[in-house]
Amino acid sequence: MGKFEVLDHPLIQHKLTIIREKNCGTKVFREMVNEISTLMAYEVSRDMPLKDIEIETPIAKSTQKTLAGKKVAIVPILRAGLGMVDGFLNMIPAAKVGHVGMYRDEKTLKPVEYFVKLPSDISQRQLFVVDPMLATGGSAIMAMDMLKKRGASNIKFMCLVAAPEGVKALRDAHPDIDVYTAALDDHLNEDGYIVPGLGDAGDRLFGTK
Ligand SMILES: O=P(O)(O)OC[C@H]1O[C@H](OP(=O)(O)OP(=O)(O)O)[C@H](O)[C@@H]1O
Ligand SMILES: O=c1cc[nH]c(=O)[nH]1
Ligand SMILES: [Mg+2]
């Protein structure tokens, strides 16, 4: 079974509280999502493998560590996942970026896919799929199905706010995937929104409501 971790570093919790506030405007919302994503990237990359290399400092020859693992790609689920890309790239700047476009039908709450563009070698990459919200889990599950169908096998999912319903659904559907969230909230309401949550992440990031 993949990991499930709530990344509750005090800085992450503090910044998340700022964006949960309904009066937080687009500018600060974007900045905080960016900063939280950087902090989360630092945490989720903890188990990246290292290897020894020989280097020469100005003083002496020396054996030191360098990253040894697979190459990395970040895959935001559009639109809201876009808000997490730059923050993540602050920590792992050489990562490739793939895009998966999906929206949730407001009535059925089922995801509808509308765009896919991925690095050609995703089967050889460590993928970090990012989306601020994990609600019913439908969008994340569909994204994983789609990535696995195209050959991806090494996938981690990162979100800011998760509902217990979505965590269970995602882990039941894709038990191999590590799931990281900044917060595990209480429940989903009758409209499929996370409670207390932060509202519609895409609309708040892009100012569309
Ligand atoms: O777990 P689920 O029930 O599938 O809900 C979560 C999805 O809903 C939101 O996207 P939305 O459909 O609002 O699209 P947007 O990012 O374009 O706003 C969110 O960013 C997730 O992708
Ligand atoms: O609370 C929620 C649920 C789904 N999508 C969002 O943006 N927010
Ligand atoms: Mg939205």
Rounded distance between C-alpha atoms, residue 130 and residue 21, angstroms: 22
Token duo for residue 32: 């905080």
* Ligand 1 atom nearest to CA at 206: 18
**Residue to probe by mutation, ligand 1, list 85, 100, 114, 133, most atoms within 8 Å of CB:** 133
**Which ligand is in closest contact with the Cα of 198?**
2
Full-model pTM: 0.96
CATH topology for the 2-204 domain: Rossmann fold (3.40.50)
Q: What are phi and psi of 10, to 5 degrees?
A: -55, -40
DSSP 8-state secondary structure symbol assigned to residue 197: S
Judge if ipTM > 0.85: yes
- Contact assessment for residue 76 and residue 41, using Cβ atoms and an 8 Å cutoff: no
Does the annotation place 200 within a ligand binding site? Answer: yes
Q: Omega of the bond prior to 171 within 30 degrees of 0, cis?
A: no
Domain boundaries, the chain: 2-204
Which residue's CA is the closest to the ligand 1 atom numbered 3? 136
Pocket of ligand 2 (CB under 6 A): 80, 133, 135, 192-194, 197, 200-202
- Residue 93 CA to residue 88 CA, distance in Å, equals 8
Which residue has a Cα nearest atom 2 of ligand 2? 193
> 140-179: per-residue pLDDT in tens?
999 999 999 999 999 999 999 999 999 999 999 999 999 9
pLDDT digits (tens, 9 = 90+) for 51-78: 999 999 999 999 999 999 779 999 999 9
